[in-house]
Amino acid sequence: MARTTKKLQRLVNVFHDLETVARVRVGELTREMAEHRAAQDDILRSLENPSTINGLFTALLSNRVGRLERRIQQLSREHEIALKRYSEAAARRRSASELLAQTREEEGRKSEQNQLEALLEFQEAVAAQGRGKSARPS
């Protein structure tokens, strides 16, 4: 039973690591999306206040806004996929943790049962010796 517990503990650790990786990926995508949105907002604000410098680069800034929007959409799709993977990894980890807990409980019950059986055998041996008999049946 201890081998099973060790194997399950390693499995729980692996699922925990996979969950952590998925959570970090979601965080990175969220941060990158926020940065692109902020850059896009900055460009749009600069276009709202016309100046001679902006006038020369309006087409380029407009193209940049378009590229940023496409990148944000791509990141949004990746973010949805990453969230799904994170959710699945968390569910796998929870399931493995529950299985580990059940296995540990079962291991504890079996250990307690073995101890009780050993105690009963000892009591029978002591009682048999008290009567001058061997503990072993003949």
pLDDT tens digits, one per residue of 41-86: 988 887 777 665 656 677 788 888 899 999 999 999 999 999 999 9
CB 82 within 8 A of CB 107: no
For range 1-12, the mean pLDDT: 87
Alpha-carbon distance values, 63 to 46, 52, 66 (Å): 14, 18, 5
Please give the CATH topology (third level) of the domain spanning 2-130.
Helix Hairpins (1.10.287)
Query: Which of 37, 137, 33, 23 lies closest to 82 in space, CA to CA?
Result: 23
3-state secondary structure (DSSP) of residue 1: coil
Q: What integer pLDDT is reported at residue 15 of this predicted model?
A: 94
Query: Which of 75, 70, 60, 69 lies closest to 30 in space, CA to CA?
Result: 75
Give the residue extent of every domain in the chain: 2-130
The reply to whether the predicted model has a pTM over 0.75 is no
Average pLDDT of the residues of the chain:
88
Instruction: Fill in the amino acid letter for 43.
Output: I
